[in-house]
Amino acid sequence: MTSIAKLIDHSLLRPELTEAEVREGCALAARYGVASVCVRPADVPLAAGLLRGTGVLVGTVAGFPHGSSATATKAAEAALAVAQGAAEVDMVVNIGWLRSGDLADVEADIRAVVDAAAGATVKVILENAYLTADQIAAGCRAAERAGAHFVKTSTGFAPGGATMDDLALMRATVSPHVGVKAAGGVRTLDTLLAMAAIGVTRFGATATAAILDDAAHREAHGAPAAAGAAPADGGY
């Protein structure tokens, strides 16, 4: 179960979450030993304090959820988040620029965040629900050229989330040293395993406990991990 836990970024991004719910989410992340929590920018100091010494990283978002913030704003968000204890920043690409084919601007936008993050991990959210296959591939290539560490399918707030076809395309487009993150609709262990089998190495999820409890149950009973379930669409 530990190896599966380290594939998961436990998502705490819903706008209505209370401080108590953020605290509970951080406690859950620490209990299960996931890779990280992904919190709203205002929650970074709280999460960093709660998770210090647990081995669970703190991540946050920039330009979220629409990607249309000015580049300087995204970069400032990233710099502040890292200064406050974030080790990872999931930024939303400028979707309109990508759809327009303004790839030099897309790349510059991403590079500004990578530079501002000063060595922290940067994941680029493409928001695939709004993109064609060619646009997804172009966004992946721009992210890699700009020095991003991951490309990511979705915010979880668009009409659709991660799909197997999109993930396979993303994995085939970027080099092996660039990771692929699935988010939006990763609600079961079988979905996670099916996606991991095609090379996805990080997952944004709110169903973290259900996924990892299932993994522990199978491990305890010697059951083989099942794969091949179709991913559902929807939010984190």
> What is the structure's pLDDT at 224?
62
In a domain? residue 188: yes
User: pTM score > 0.85 for this model?
Assistant: yes
In a domain? residue 236: no
Degrees (nearest 5) of the Cα angle 151, 156, 158?
Answer: 100
227 burial via Cβ count (<10 Å: 0-12, 13-18, 19+): middle
In a domain? residue 74: yes
> What is the structure's pLDDT at 230?
36
> What is the structure's pLDDT at 131?
98
Low-confidence ranges of the chain (pLDDT < 70): 1, 224-236
Residue from 9, 109, 181, 214 carrying the catalytic annotation: 181
CATH number of the domain bearing residue 202: 3.20.20.70
Residue 152 designated active-site: yes
> What is the structure's pLDDT at 197?
97
> What is the structure's pLDDT at 227?
43
Residue from 9, 90, 166, 214 carrying the catalytic annotation: 90
**Rg (the chain; Cα; Å):** 17
In a domain? residue 227: no
> What is the structure's pLDDT at 41?
98
Q: Which domain holds residue 138?
A: 2-220
> What is the structure's pLDDT at 225?
59
Residue from 109, 152, 166, 214 carrying the catalytic annotation: 152
In a domain? residue 228: no
> What is the structure's pLDDT at 82?
98
In a domain? residue 193: yes
In a domain? residue 95: yes
Give the contacts of 98 (CB within 8 A, at least 6 positions apart): 106, 126, 131, 135, 138, 139, 142
> What is the structure's pLDDT at 234?
34
Please state the domain count of the chain: 1
In a domain? residue 78: yes
Distance between CA atoms of residues 123 and 91, nearest Å: 6
Residue 90 designated active-site: yes
